[in-house]
Amino acid sequence: MPRIKRIEPKTFISKEYKGPLEELPFKEYIKDLKKWGKKKKARPHGKPVFFYYHPYDEKDERNFRIDVAKPIKRLKKGGAGYKLKYLPKTKLAVKNFNGTPSDYEEIYKDLLNWIDKKGYTAYGNRMEKIKKFPKKEEEEFIIKSQIQLLVQKR
């Protein structure tokens, strides 16, 4: 069931990935982000987040651009290959997700319809808070996450 969630300002350290989601070396990216945080004394905490820069209905996986991010407690400079991202105090429309990347189109349509019915407008890039490491099961790539869209009242 979708819901509206208020969040406080957050800072993330992120690393860019281009290509098919199924080929993303998720564990290595998270290890790199944690290593960077330890080196910079930035104290990573919380669940990883994907920031997507391609439409949910994009079919050409070579066009996929995803920032794998981890929330941090202290602000430090990025560094080679890393970016800092800031999310202000805002509202998110969220919905839990357990499925394959081919299921995204359906869940986003449902969530966008729900947002519209509640009198909100979605804006900005879409995000996905990862609850468990994505894995392959019977030739299918399974993701357990929370889909997040920035929203504002109309």
Per-residue pLDDT reduced to its tens digit, 31-77: 999 888 888 888 788 899 999 998 777 778 888 899 999 998 876 66
Give me the number of domains the chain comprises.
Answer: 1
Lowest average pLDDT, out of 14-28, 51-65, 75-89, 93-107, goes to 75-89
The CA–CA distances, whole Å, from 129 to 15, 24, 43, 98 equal 15, 15, 18, 12
Query: Using CA atoms, how far apart are residues 3 and 53, in angstroms rounded to an integer?
Result: 23
The CATH number linked to 18 is 3.20.80.10
Q: Using CA atoms of 145, 6, 65, 22 in order, give the dihedral in degrees to the nearest 10.
A: 0
The count of other CB atoms within 10 Å of the CB of residue 77 is 8
Q: Using CA atoms of 86, 95, 3, 13 in order, give the dihedral in degrees to the nearest 10.
A: -10
The residue that leads in pLDDT, 135 or 47, is 47
Question: What pLDDT is attached to residue 146?
Answer: 96
Q: Walk across the sheet containing 90-99 and list its strands.
A: 3-7, 90-99, 140-153, 120-137, 49-52, 65-72, 10-18, 83-87
CB of 115 within 8 A of CB of 152? Answer: no
Structural domain of 50: 3-153
